[in-house]
Structure 1
Amino acid sequence: MREQMQRMKVLGAGILSLILVMGVARFAYTPLLPLMQAQAGLGVAEGGWLAAWNYAGYLTGALTASLISDLVLKDRLYRIGLVVAVVSTVAMGLTTDVFWWSVWRFVAGLSSASGMLLGTGLILNWLIRHQHRSELGIHFTGIGLGIAGCAVAVWVMSQWFDWRTQWFILSGLGVLLLIPAWRWLPPPDRTSFTVGGQKMEDNPPGPAFMRVFMAAYFCAGVGYVVSATFIVAIVNKLPGLEGRGALVFLVLGLSAVPACIVWDFIARRIGYLNSLVLSYVLQIAGILLPLAGGLAPALLGALLFGGNFIGAVSLVLTMAGRYYPTRPAKMMGKMTIAYGVAQILGPAVTGWLAAGRGSYADGLYVAAAVMAVGTVLVLVLKGIEVRENAAIAVAGSDPV
């Protein structure tokens, strides 16, 4: 009973940390973007560049995470990241200068990486060490809750408060999230054994698998970032959907809440790579549906997109933890570098396209095309996995 209570507190710390670093510090920008454009003079292209700076910070954090092996240092940086998430959120309301907004979006990206990668790695390490199922579905509900919570908060607050005040209120919410996210995660255990005395050993895939895996995850990053960043602004500009972007973003967030748990069950039945293929295909549909016109396709698209972009992330990072149980954040960081590069290029290209045509919608077509390439790459991964497993089986059967 005590062990189960401790498990719930650890998972609770992870959920609340993701609501803070991914919801408040990162995704609050998406529903606030139209308001900042209307009230603070933020231009269309500049909106794309601010998103790119956020993802540049995330990429920098992912690179740092991939280089760190020491669990104590990871734990320290995770906690610093929680504080930085709150500081960067406060700072967004203290200026109207695009340069400083860019700086603080970059800093917010750093905090997102600390919570998403270091925090997730610490939690997965704790679950494996304490012989719980090494799945992250419950943990990743924090991302969907963060998205949905920020969408609701901005929609409600917009009735009374301007863009600046909303950043300040979100900062106060961030402080409330920080306290349990900090206190409920225990210090890491640096031994290489589980509590039952079993040795934790890494079993990494081959180099060819890793190269294709990172390329496929890059494609997922492009597919994710355009919709996640610009969906509110895109929907608001579609005929007859003015002001409906926040509702679509809310549905996106709500669909992401149970998605990772659902994908855990799917992966148990059909395997992780088959699950990734299915997730990619459904995400393509989710990206394109809002462009069909009308509220119903936009909501259905948000439902599919929200349920599948986070599913892909959860599946990939869980696979990383299974390959490297002793140091999951190391491979998570490498995978997220690929995802992070996509998150820099995607908003920048979308902003550039929007500057010429006055709409972010063209970015959705680009994102869907890249996701189609990613689907093919995951199918290639299945072939590589079969060959690698066959080679291991042959090597194991050779006489010594």
Structure 2
Amino acid sequence: MSPQRERIKVLGAGIFSLILVLGVARFSYTPLLPQMQQQAGLGVAAAGWLAALNYAGYLSGALLASLISDLVLKDRLYRIGMVLAVLSTVVMGLTDNVIVWALSRFLAGLSSAAGMLFGTGLILNWLIRHNHRSELGIHFSGIGIGIAGCAAAVGLMSHWLDWREQWFAFSAIGCLLLVPALRWLPAPDRSPLTKSGQKMEDNPPSPTFMRLFMAAYFCAGFGYVVSATFIVAIINQLPGLAGQGNLVFLAIGIGAAPACINWDFIARRTGDLNALILAAVLQIIGILLPVMFGGLLASLFGALLFGGTFIGMVSLVLSMAGRYYPTRPAKMMGKMTLSYGAAQIIGPAFTGWLAARLGSYAAGLYVAAAVMAIGTVLLLLLKFVEKREAAESAAILALCPGNMGISAQGNQ
């Protein structure tokens, strides 16, 4: 098999795995939420807690990823997670018991972490090892495709199937996605050398950089989760937009599908931190447009902006983790995702509580935008820290020119 064809196949495994764990196991809950409320009696606060438990599972998976360095074990857990994604989806249609749903959402969160962290780490390690660019834009297109596909599927199926039957339909789709997600990802190589013989060495950031980075990523997680979880219900509650929530969710997926590839190109020109700052500002605008201006056009444009930025930020951050830790990218990915995941537990639970008190989810979008603004300030501060530390490193290297090292970070 040619190197380029092998690369496409490995990236294909990643795309299908993300469609499975995030599109089917995770994001199908969002367009199905209004129907579950109408047909299965799911309450507003309970809906928020179910979403929070999904992220609790994701956070547990992130904690596990941050503690594991062995590539073979990561590969095994990735494959278990793919199967778990299908099983957790089936369970949603088997009952209307909220406790069982809660367990299903927690397990779906674990499977999401398996795809996002173990799968992404294995793929990034493979790319670096085979001297490809350490960029994840193509890989992360699976998230946007998953979101758009789920929204389109619910839009079609809701005319003929009830909420329960749609969960079963998603389970069947998940079984089809499972095959390439498992078969196309090769067994991991634990050699410390790339295929060209270059030694793979980690180049970690400073503790100060990491603390600020994790705080900024927490804010990004909060800004993301409120819209991602409740946007369908929010849009359906806005004046004149009843029944349009699923269309807006579809627009998020359409915006997200090519976004990571676009942000890879932007980051090459501007640098990673500048690209993250730009994405954060645009995401704030996307979050606020539906509630500040109303109307379908503003909501669709906001959805495209939101979809085109939130996944770009995730892709950029996890790609940076791979460049800092080429030998064990999932370890830093896990630490960053602990921060992102903590926000994803707090966000839905807080928004559900706020909605129960105010009678609307819309206030949650204003809170999400405010938290994102704080995160943007932290990213600006991070640029200052990066410049200061680069100057200090340059001064040290000038004094000790023989200590220069080379990290294997792909052909960038």
Q: 1:272 matched to which residue of 2?
A: 272
TM-score normalised according to structure 2 size: 0.96
Deviations along 1:326-347, one digit per CA (max 9) or x if unpaired, are 0000000000000000000000
1:311 and 2:280 matched: no
Q: 1:68 matched to which residue of 2?
A: 68
Q: 2:83 matched to which residue of 1?
A: 83
Q: Does structure 2 conserve the Cα–Cα contact (< 8 Å) formed by 1:137 and 1:264? A: yes
1:144 and 2:162 matched: no
Name the amino acid aligned to 1:361: A
Q: 2:130 matched to which residue of 1?
A: 130
Q: 2:368 matched to which residue of 1?
A: 367
| Alpha-carbon distance in structure 2 between the residues aligned to 1:356 and 1:375 | 29
| Alpha-carbon distance in structure 1 between the residues aligned to 2:202 and 2:325 | 5
Deviation at 1:49, TM superposition (A): 0.5
Q: Secondary structure at the match of 1:231?
A: helix
| Alpha-carbon distance in structure 1 between the residues aligned to 2:229 and 2:369 | 15
| Alpha-carbon distance in structure 2 between the residues aligned to 1:205 and 1:137 | 23
| Alpha-carbon distance in structure 1 between the residues aligned to 2:3 and 2:297 | 45
| Alpha-carbon distance in structure 2 between the residues aligned to 1:3 and 1:271 | 28
Name the amino acid aligned to 1:31: P
Deviation at 1:387, TM superposition (A): 1.1
Deviation at 1:175, TM superposition (A): 0.5
Name the amino acid aligned to 1:141: S
Q: Secondary structure at the match of 1:186?
A: coil
Deviation at 1:390, TM superposition (A): 1.0
Q: 1:324 matched to which residue of 2?
A: 325
Counterparts of 1:167-178 in structure 2, within 5 Å, are 167-178=167-178
Q: Does structure 2 conserve the Cα–Cα contact (< 8 Å) formed by 1:44 and 1:358? A: no
| Alpha-carbon distance in structure 2 between the residues aligned to 1:191 and 1:360 | 50
Deviation at 1:53, TM superposition (A): 0.3
Tell me the percent identity.
74
1:25 and 2:25 matched: yes
1:221 and 2:225 matched: no
Q: Does structure 2 conserve the Cα–Cα contact (< 8 Å) formed by 1:58 and 1:113? A: yes
Counterparts of 1:324-363 in structure 2, within 5 Å, are 324-363=325-364
Deviations along 1:268-312, one digit per CA (max 9) or x if unpaired, are 000000000000000000000011210000001001000000010
Q: 1:199 matched to which residue of 2?
A: 199
| Alpha-carbon distance in structure 2 between the residues aligned to 1:63 and 1:361 | 31
| Alpha-carbon distance in structure 2 between the residues aligned to 1:330 and 1:146 | 25
Deviation at 1:358, TM superposition (A): 1.5
Name the amino acid aligned to 2:303: A
Counterparts of 1:234-313 in structure 2, within 5 Å, are 234-291=234-291, 292-313=293-314
Structure 1 residue runs of 4+, over 3 Å off? none
| Alpha-carbon distance in structure 2 between the residues aligned to 1:397 and 1:285 | 44
Q: 1:48 matched to which residue of 2?
A: 48
Q: Does structure 2 conserve the Cα–Cα contact (< 8 Å) formed by 1:54 and 1:109? A: yes
Name the amino acid aligned to 1:379: L
TM-score normalised according to structure 1 size: 0.99
Deviation at 1:359, TM superposition (A): 1.1
| Alpha-carbon distance in structure 2 between the residues aligned to 1:390 and 1:332 | 26
Deviation at 1:22, TM superposition (A): 0.6
Deviations along 1:154-186, one digit per CA (max 9) or x if unpaired, are 110000000000000100000000001100000
Name the amino acid aligned to 1:71: L
Q: Does structure 2 conserve the Cα–Cα contact (< 8 Å) formed by 1:22 and 1:146? A: yes
| Alpha-carbon distance in structure 2 between the residues aligned to 1:367 and 1:91 | 31
Counterparts of 1:7-26 in structure 2, within 5 Å, are 7-26=7-26
Deviation at 1:323, TM superposition (A): 0.2
| Alpha-carbon distance in structure 1 between the residues aligned to 2:323 and 2:50 | 35
Name the amino acid aligned to 1:351: G
Q: Does structure 2 conserve the Cα–Cα contact (< 8 Å) formed by 1:279 and 1:312? A: yes
Q: Does structure 2 conserve the Cα–Cα contact (< 8 Å) formed by 1:59 and 1:341? A: yes
Deviations along 1:27-74, one digit per CA (max 9) or x if unpaired, are 000000000000000001111000000000000000000000000000
| Alpha-carbon distance in structure 2 between the residues aligned to 1:40 and 1:65 | 35
Alignment: residue pair count: 400
Q: 2:410 matched to which residue of 1?
A: none
Name the amino acid aligned to 2:104: W
Q: Does structure 2 conserve the Cα–Cα contact (< 8 Å) formed by 1:136 and 1:260? A: yes
| Alpha-carbon distance in structure 1 between the residues aligned to 2:198 and 2:79 | 29
Name the amino acid aligned to 2:154: V
Q: 1:111 matched to which residue of 2?
A: 111
| Alpha-carbon distance in structure 2 between the residues aligned to 1:338 and 1:195 | 34
Q: Secondary structure at the match of 1:236?
A: helix
Deviation at 1:395, TM superposition (A): 1.1
Unaligned runs of 5+ in 1: none
Q: Secondary structure at the match of 1:232?
A: helix
Q: What's the C-alpha RMSD, in Å, of the aligned pairs?
A: 0.7
Q: Secondary structure at the match of 1:123?
A: helix
| Alpha-carbon distance in structure 2 between the residues aligned to 1:178 and 1:358 | 40
Deviations along 1:180-212, one digit per CA (max 9) or x if unpaired, are 110000000001100000000000000000000
